[in-house]
């Protein structure tokens, strides 16, 4: 993938300490024509191997003053907005904080980007849908069933109503690993549990199209290169239940599938309701950006190699 012309891009990434942020920085620092401005709360937790190839700025997106200071300093040509409170239960329990970060923070970023005419990519979620009729295409009508989905939809609408050149990348159940990050995902959870001989309950009545984080980072880069406009559904192509994902994980690592207990969603008490059947139809991003995601099994293999490297 090459930039279409020789312009120098200054790319500001929010949430750079997160999983997608790690992968975006790692991808973009390899590009000669790109200056990367990584932002997040507190100090950088990016790998030492990236040092010297990006600028780090501590930026609380709920502070309008901090946002405008950083934009004034770097004048970004591109913003990739990945910062958010993404845990649905936390959003349900702490709605004021979720609104401040997911909605008001996005508003500050949009206002700052407008001053510098930055191209704006916003990361959103399948949780903007109610899960009644998934998998979903871009033109399907959102109807969130939890507060997390409500905040992301509200932020989408702010961007859509702005004068910016923008793209929204909705995604589903992102998985992967990155150096220095401890947050788990379904593959790591299943692998660790079965290796320890624990039985685990895994739901069979939800469907998703799980997304390898490297694929999501690639899609964001393609959007940036092409200055794509509009909403794009970016995910894996495999439509799977969590139980099927767990089974594939057990098969890959040669672990005992008998420890997987199939249950339905009603088994669990959670603060936030989950949409049952989401997942995405990804023909638009495939056709317009030549995006081709890895299969879930291939994604497990990529993750497994990264775990092996980290342990060596």
- Beta-strand runs (E) in 27-164: 34-40, 55-58, 78-81, 119-125
Determine if residue 101 is left, alpha or beta; phi over 0 gives left, psi from -120 to 50 gives alpha, anything else beta: alpha
Structure tokens at 270: 């959670």
Taking alpha carbons only, the member of 144, 170, 10 closest to residue 82 is 170
Structure tokens at 280: 């995405």
Q: Scanning the structure block, which residue is given the tokens 């942020």?
A: 21
**259 close to 196: Cβ distance less than 8 angstroms:** no
Q: Which one is catalytic: 119, 148, 175, 252?
A: 148
- Other CB atoms within 10 A of residue 175 CB: 21
Under DSSP, is residue 197 helix (H, G, I), strand (E, B) or coil? coil
Q: Scanning the structure block, which residue is given the tokens 């891009």?
A: 9
Is position 148 annotated as part of the catalytic site? yes
Cα separation, 147 vs 126, whole angstroms = 13
Burial (CB < 10 A; 0-12, 13-18, 19+), residue 7, is: exposed
Structure tokens at 51: 């040092």
Q: CA 310 from chain center: how many Å?
A: 22
Taking alpha carbons only, the member of 116, 22, 18 closest to residue 69 is 116
Residue 111, CB half-sphere, CA atoms under 13 Å: how many? 15
Structure tokens at 189: 């959870």
Structure tokens at 209: 């199209």
The residues annotated with a catalytic role in the active site are 148
């Amino acid at each position: 993938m090459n930039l279409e012309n020789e312009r120098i891009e200054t790319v500001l990434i929010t949430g750079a300490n997160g999983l997608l942020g790690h992968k975006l920085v790692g991808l973009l620092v390899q590009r000669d024509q790109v200056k990367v401005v990584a932002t997040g709360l507190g100090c950088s937790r990016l790998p030492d191997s990236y040092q010297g190839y990006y600028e780090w700025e501590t930026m609380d997106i709920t502070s309008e003053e901090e946002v405008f200071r950083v934009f004034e300093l770097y004048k970004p040509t591109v913003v990739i907005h990945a910062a958010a409170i993404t845990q649905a239960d936390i959003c349900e329990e702490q709605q004021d904080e979720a609104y401040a970060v997911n909605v008001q923070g996005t508003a500050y970023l949009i206002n700052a980007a407008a001053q510098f005419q930055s191209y704006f990519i916003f990361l959103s979620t399948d949780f903007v849908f109610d899960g009644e009729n998934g998998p979903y295409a871009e033109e399907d009508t959102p109807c969130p069933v939890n507060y997390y989905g409500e905040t992301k939809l509200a932020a989408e609408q702010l961007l859509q109503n702005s004068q910016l050149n923008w793209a929204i990348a909705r995604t589903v159940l992102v998985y992967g690993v990155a150096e220095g990050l401890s947050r788990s995902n379904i593959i790591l959870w299943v692998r660790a549990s079965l290796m320890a001989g624990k039985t685990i309950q895994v739901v069979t009545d939800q469907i998703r199209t799980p997304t390898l984080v490297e694929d999501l980072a690639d899609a964001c880069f393609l959007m940036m290169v092409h200055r794509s406009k509009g909403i794009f559904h970016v995910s894996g192509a495999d439509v799977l239940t969590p139980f099927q994902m767990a089974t594939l994980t057990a098969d890959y690592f040669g672990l005992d599938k008998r420890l997987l207990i199939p249950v339905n969603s009603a088994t669990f008490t959670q603060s936030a309701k989950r949409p049952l059947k989401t997942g995405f139809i990804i023909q638009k991003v495939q056709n317009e950006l030549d995006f081709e995601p890895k299969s879930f099994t291939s994604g497990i293999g990529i993750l497994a190699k990264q775990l092996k490297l980290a342990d060596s």
